Structure 1
Amino acid sequence: MCLEATTMAASSMKMKKSSSLITKSSTQFLLSAPNSKTGKFELMDYDSLPEFLKHNEFIVSYYRSEWPLKQTILSIFSIHNETLNIWTHLIGFFIFLMLTGYAASVFPTVSNAYPLLQLSTAGNSTNTFYIDRAQQTLMEPSASFSSELVGSVIPRWPFYLYLAGAMFCLLMSSACHLLSCHCYRTSYIMLRLDFAGISGLIVSSFYPLVYYTFTCNPFFRDLYLASITFFGLATVIVSLTQVFDSPQFRPVRAVLFACMAASGVVPIAHKMMTFGHRPEAVLTTGYEAVMGMFYVVGVVVYVARVPERWLPGKFDLAGHSHQLFHVLVVAGAYTQYLGSLVYLGWRENEGC
């Protein structure tokens, strides 16, 4: 009897242990697709990482480290501390891809430039007021038209260049977060592409502002565009240095990109001094102020590494600073898209 009871108890314990192992195995598979022989696919803690993957000590766990390329790519569908970093900008990329297609099919003209904006800013009474004023101003018979531009098509490449810059930035960022864990060489290359994408977004965002504002003043148009393009290329070259992606260099990176973006204050101030009486100038400056706010808050969050600094390990999977930074970048880029529609509608309708 005792032997039978002992056997039954042992069998019950074995079943419970087996059930526990199955549950644990299922959880591990969801998180990391583990390989018990090599450990290559297991998620790791920060302290176990090679130096090239150590960027934020307040993100404590759920790291991928030196996975095979195939498993690295497939990890886009698994759960780790880069999952939301990948998807926030990948979704942003597809949003801008759709915006590009939509703008190409319903492009701003005299008849639809401002209805398109009204649709994009529905519910915002301040924006609607300035949009209505801009539309009335452009439709007035007394509006001054440039004899060279009346009847001609305003170049649209600055608008599409901005959209291309935004999509390149978002796609490179997403790819960087997906692939950088593969090996040091891949990490080095992807980080440089990521930095190039950030520079591309900043530089391309100047083109609608400068080109359409100063269409009738080629000297300042070319001066501002050449300056920001040179600044962007210089930043890309500096980013090729090995120290540029080090954690200690994080504040310097942030300041460099912030200064490049802040240089936009000069053409914006010039615009307001020249066209401050125009509702289009007021509306676009408002969009640029909101865009700047999104980017400034994003940079502060990125440098401060909050909220994970306050509660290390609690935001490893969701809610940490880089994810918030990504969301703010997409919001800022979309705000600039709305402003670009105003610029294009302004020049498409009025010329100089």
Structure 2
Amino acid sequence: MATIVMEQIGRLFINLQQVQGVPRMLKEAAPSLPGTLKDSDMPHFFREHYIHGGYRPLHHGWRYYFLSLFQRHNETINVWTHLLSALVVLMKSAQLAETVDFVRDVHAWPLLVLLLSAFAYMACSTLAHLLSAKSELSHYAFFFLDYVGVALYQYGSALVHFYYAIEESWHSCFHGLFMPLAAFLSWLSCLGCCYGKYQSHSSTYWVRKACQVVPSALAYTWDISPVVHRVITCFSCSRDPALPFHCGQVAFFLSCAFFFTHQLPQKWFPGRCDFLGQGHQIFHVLLALCTLSQIEASHLDYLGRRAVYRHLHGDSAAPFFCALFVLTGVASALTAVLITSKVRRLLGRRDKSK
């Protein structure tokens, strides 16, 4: 017995030695990363208000920016918040796939669109914050990609709200208009965000924010209207398990909208939120919580309101709405590509004039 115990202790000691050697092996396997820079060492375009340090140097190879996932810089938390959130959405999707037939049940397709669009915006945001520091053109291109993901998510949100959460009285007023207008507003949001970013050199901060926030606010107001109508009309329905999650997603979204439009708390503590505590990081976390609440609410509606949405939409509406989702994605992607080409020409003319 003592011999067995000693053998187990010996194996544990060897395993601990191996674990302790992991940091050294990683350091030897990966090249040493360049140190971060202060804002005074960066071109004005890359500087963020009230963020004084933690900037990654420009014009290194792509490998450096991918490896900077494990480096401490002023975008690290922004990258990891949406990277981890995307993994959570994947895990939630796998969990739902065990009980929901996403292939043969057309009424499950809107829920699938929401899951795909949620993963898309989180993945695009992760890439934007991770890789946009390579160059000015990369900064534009990857954030344009981020806005395409946002447009897809806005449409996915509108679809599950219209398909699962809507009450018959609201549906009767807007059933022929709701989803086409939701698709248009999603594309308009992408266009406004891309154009606002394109005007970074010639417009003030609040003008750029207006280009991004106003179309997105219009889209959200339209997309969330079925949920708001249902909460108002069914607030006393204590047996509706989805209502708390719908209220939660609205509260989380309004909170994250505040942090997106205000440079807080870094404005109160300039230079002290370079790594942790930026308002955009809080925005990421709140938006992820909003998305997870929305997924849970939509799943509960899918389970508990089948008679309602089958009566309202029949069996032919879901394929059309999914086709509209693809069209929205294509239109948004083309918009991003076209404005990226405008940026490329603008930067080319500027470089020639130097």
Query: Please, which runs of 5 or more residues in structure 2 have no aligned partner?
Result: 1-27, 312-354
| TM-superposition CA deviations, 1:185-244 (whole Å, max 9, x none) | 111110111112222222211211201245976883442111111100122223332645
Match of 2:293 in 1: 335
In structure 2, what is the Cα distance between the partners aligned to 1:304 and 1:311? 14
**TM superposition shift of 1:293:** 1.5
In structure 2, what is the Cα distance between the partners aligned to 1:320 and 1:197? 22
**TM superposition shift of 1:43:** 1.1
From 224, 227, 251, the equivalent of 2:178 is 224
In structure 2, what is the Cα distance between the partners aligned to 1:237 and 1:312? 32
Match of 1:92 in 2: 85
**For residues 62-101 of structure 1, what are the structure 2 equivalents within 5 Å?**
62-66=54-58, 67-101=60-94
From 189, 192, 195, the equivalent of 1:238 is 192
| TM-superposition CA deviations, 1:317-344 (whole Å, max 9, x none) | 1121111111001000001011101210
In structure 2, what is the Cα distance between the partners aligned to 1:90 and 1:203? 21
1:287 aligned onto 2:239: no
Whether the 8 Å contact between 2:256 and 2:287 is mirrored in structure 1 is yes
Whether the 8 Å contact between 2:82 and 2:126 is mirrored in structure 1 is yes
Match of 2:50 in 1: 58
From 179, 197, 217, the equivalent of 1:258 is 217
1:345 aligned onto 2:303: yes
Q: Provide closer, same or farther for how the CA distance between residues 180 and 91 of structure 1 changes in structure 2, counting only shifts above 3 A.
A: same
From 170, 176, 186, the equivalent of 2:138 is 186
Alignment TM-score, normalising by the size of structure 2 = 0.69
Match of 2:129 in 1: 177
| TM-superposition CA deviations, 1:128-150 (whole Å, max 9, x none) | xxxxxxxxxxxxxxxxxxxxxxx
Large movers: runs of 4+ above 6 Å: 273-277
**For residues 303-322 of structure 1, what are the structure 2 equivalents within 5 Å?**
303-322=261-280
In structure 1, what is the Cα distance between the partners aligned to 2:234 and 2:260? 35
Whether the 8 Å contact between 1:85 and 1:177 is mirrored in structure 2 is yes
Alignment TM-score, normalising by the size of structure 1 = 0.69
Letter in structure 1 aligned against 2:98: S
In structure 1, what is the Cα distance between the partners aligned to 2:66 and 2:86? 18
In structure 2, what is the Cα distance between the partners aligned to 1:214 and 1:52? 44
1:44 aligned onto 2:37: yes
1:326 aligned onto 2:278: no
Q: Provide closer, same or farther for how the CA distance between residues 264 and 288 of structure 1 changes in structure 2, counting only shifts above 3 A.
A: farther
| TM-superposition CA deviations, 1:157-205 (whole Å, max 9, x none) | 1001001111000000010000000011111110111112222222211
Q: Provide closer, same or farther for how the CA distance between residues 106 and 243 of structure 1 changes in structure 2, counting only shifts above 3 A.
A: closer
In structure 1, what is the Cα distance between the partners aligned to 2:113 and 2:238? 25
In structure 1, what is the Cα distance between the partners aligned to 2:215 and 2:76? 27
In structure 2, what is the Cα distance between the partners aligned to 1:80 and 1:96? 26
Match of 1:117 in 2: none
> What percent of counterpart residues are identical?
23
Whether the 8 Å contact between 1:62 and 1:316 is mirrored in structure 2 is yes
In structure 1, what is the Cα distance between the partners aligned to 2:166 and 2:283? 32
Q: Provide closer, same or farther for how the CA distance between residues 275 and 312 of structure 1 changes in structure 2, counting only shifts above 3 A.
A: closer
SS class of match (2:305): helix
Query: Please, which runs of 5 or more residues in structure 1 have no aligned partner?
Result: 1-28, 35-40, 109-151
Higher-helix-fraction structure = 2
Q: Provide closer, same or farther for how the CA distance between residues 263 and 197 of structure 1 changes in structure 2, counting only shifts above 3 A.
A: same
Query: What RMSD, in angstroms, separates the aligned Cα atoms of the two structures?
Result: 2.9
In structure 2, what is the Cα distance between the partners aligned to 1:256 and 1:294? 19
**For residues 120-269 of structure 1, what are the structure 2 equivalents within 5 Å?**
153=105, 155-213=107-165, 220-241=174-195, 243-244=197-198, 246=200, 248=205, 249-269=208-228
Letter in structure 2 aligned against 1:93: A
| TM-superposition CA deviations, 1:60-95 (whole Å, max 9, x none) | 101013132211111111111111110100000000
Whether the 8 Å contact between 1:76 and 1:83 is mirrored in structure 2 is yes
In structure 1, what is the Cα distance between the partners aligned to 2:67 and 2:249? 34
In structure 2, what is the Cα distance between the partners aligned to 1:321 and 1:251? 18
Letter in structure 1 aligned against 2:180: A
Letter in structure 2 aligned against 1:90: L
In structure 1, what is the Cα distance between the partners aligned to 2:191 and 2:211? 15
Q: Provide closer, same or farther for how the CA distance between residues 322 and 344 of structure 1 changes in structure 2, counting only shifts above 3 A.
A: same
Whether the 8 Å contact between 1:169 and 1:197 is mirrored in structure 2 is yes
Match of 1:37 in 2: none
Whether the 8 Å contact between 1:224 and 1:267 is mirrored in structure 2 is no
Structure number with larger C-alpha Rg: 1
Q: Provide closer, same or farther for how the CA distance between residues 158 and 79 of structure 1 changes in structure 2, counting only shifts above 3 A.
A: same
From 94, 97, 100, the equivalent of 1:104 is 97
Whether the 8 Å contact between 2:167 and 2:230 is mirrored in structure 1 is no
In structure 2, what is the Cα distance between the partners aligned to 1:215 and 1:242? 36
